[in-house]
Amino acid sequence: MFISEIEPPRGEPLRITDRILRLVAPNPGPMTYHGTNTYIVGTTVIDPGPADDAHIDAIIAAAGGRVDRILLTHAHEDHVAGVAPLVERTGAMVAAGAVCPNGRYALETLLFDGDVVDGLTVVETPGHSRDHLCFVLGDVAFTGDHVLGWAPTSVLAPEGCAARYHDSLARLADLRCRTFLPGHGPQVRGTRRFLDALMVQMAERERSLWTLIADRPAATPELVERSYSNLGPQTRSIAERTVEAVLLRLEQLGRVVREDDKWRSLQ
Ligand SMILES: [Zn+2]
């Protein structure tokens, strides 16, 4: 039974179902929306979020004082920085799809597709990051940054891979979960329609880039220049990595080729 989503004050959990609680971490921003969502399922915590003392306190309180295991959707800072302090306070075990690159926590369990941990089934969903996992519990999927509740997911080359991202979206669609609980933003109901809209949006972006290239071959920075206006240095870098990821997928599909740094359309 789902309870309608009215955000409680920061630091207080929202009850999503009788088994699932959500806390929003105090790290709002252009890439994190209101903040990272931390989910508590019994004594299991999914994505502790940032290393913020008040947030770690709130997680432990929401879990009734006991955290046995921490599951990670992926090793980006806004999801994992709080792992070490949470382990220190609770002695929880950590399980994820890859070892955290900065080695700030020990990984007790390396997770693979189909593994079941504390009743949650692991689904490998690379694309946003190489190590990305979703976790499925009944007809609910914890989608991390694979599917967000407020904006399209960023797939930034070279870490992000648009081809794998497409495959992973199809994989998620096949599971027919009725609800997505994302790493940022509100829960998603009507998941089929939501995924269809995402795929249409991605296809449109591919088509418009391909059309630009068919019009005149160009290198990635020039294509960004022709597609966006008013970019600052940081948004320009994100735009270039996003466009590059889309182009690499089109190259894999045999629709464009890169020659002397310039993309040229093939069909
Ligand atoms: Zn994130």
Query: Average pLDDT of each block of 10 consecutive residues along the chain (267 residues)?
Result: 60 92 92 92 97 97 97 94 96 86 74 95 95 96 93 89 95 97 95 94 94 95 90 88 96 95 91
pLDDT value for 136 = 98
Cα 148 to ligand 1 centroid, rounded to whole Å: 9
pLDDT value for 113 = 96
Cα 47 to ligand 1 centroid, rounded to whole Å: 9
> Two tokens at 167?
């495959």
Distance, CA of 23 to CA of 18 (rounded, Å): 15
> Two tokens at 129?
């990051």
pLDDT value for 108 = 82
Which residues are close to ligand 1, an ion, with C-beta < 5 A? Answer: 78, 145, 183
pLDDT value for 209 = 95
Cα 24 to ligand 1 centroid, rounded to whole Å: 12
pLDDT value for 223 = 95
Distance, CA of 88 to CA of 173 (rounded, Å): 37
Cα 213 to ligand 1 centroid, rounded to whole Å: 32
Q: What topology does CATH give the domain 14-189?
A: Metallo-beta-lactamase; Chain A (3.60.15)
Domain 202-265 has CATH 3.30.70.1060: no
Is 68 tagged catalytic? Answer: no
Residue type, 198: L
Domain ranges of the chain: 14-189, 202-265
Distance, CA of 109 to CA of 124 (rounded, Å): 15
Cα 256 to ligand 1 centroid, rounded to whole Å: 31
pLDDT value for 98 = 77
C-alpha closest to that of 50 among 11, 76, 88, 12? 76
pLDDT value for 1 = 40
Distance, CA of 51 to CA of 178 (rounded, Å): 31
pLDDT value for 52 = 96
Determine which one of 47, 52, 78, 145 is catalytic. Answer: 78
C-alpha closest to that of 148 among 183, 178, 109? 183
Task: Mark 66-93 as b/e (b = at least 16 C-beta within 10 Å).
Answer: ebebbbbbbbbebbbbbbbbbbeebebb
Cα 149 to ligand 1 centroid, rounded to whole Å: 11
Phi, psi of 86 (to 5 degrees): -70, -40
